[in-house]
Amino acid sequence: MNAHVDFINLAGKKAKGKRPAFLEDPASDRILSIVMALAGEVAVNRERLDTIERLLETKGTLTRADIEAYRPDRDAGYERGLIQREFIARILRGVQQDMEALEEIEPPIEAISDELRDS
């Protein structure tokens, strides 16, 4: 495996520059960062599981070397792409809904006032 790489040290390294802020609350930004990191890990595990399932289906057995050497064909890559897009859409649905709500055009206050007065 990667015995010579210190992943703990790499994960703890501070990025250059200011940390990007996407939300008003820094705590919410940290939570979003954690959730996205976990989503990335889940996506990698899903692909690895897909590899294992495909290898078992075709060969009936597998080794770690088989898993590491596996390269999906065009159809498998397409299927994985669809699964990833659906996964990301589900995770970010709440953010998307918030963005859609911000884009909705609200009527001017005068129109609301007139509607309330006339009803």
Domain of 62?
Answer: 22-118
For the chain, give the percent of residues with pLDDT over 70.
97
Q: Is residue 3, in this structure, part of any structural domain at all?
A: no
Q: Is residue 62, in this structure, part of any structural domain at all?
A: yes
Check residue 24 and report its DSSP letter.
Answer: S
Q: Is residue 17, in this structure, part of any structural domain at all?
A: no
Number of domains in the chain: 1
Q: Is residue 55, in this structure, part of any structural domain at all?
A: yes
The torsion angles phi and psi of 45, rounded to 5 degrees, stand at -65, -35
Query: Full-prediction pTM beyond 0.75?
Result: no
pLDDT of the residue at 2: 56
Q: Is residue 12, in this structure, part of any structural domain at all?
A: no
- Cβ atoms within 10 Å, residue 51: 20
> SS3 of 61, please?
coil
Q: Is residue 31, in this structure, part of any structural domain at all?
A: yes
* Digit-coded pLDDT (tens) for 6-40: 877 777 777 777 777 777 788 888 898 899 999 99
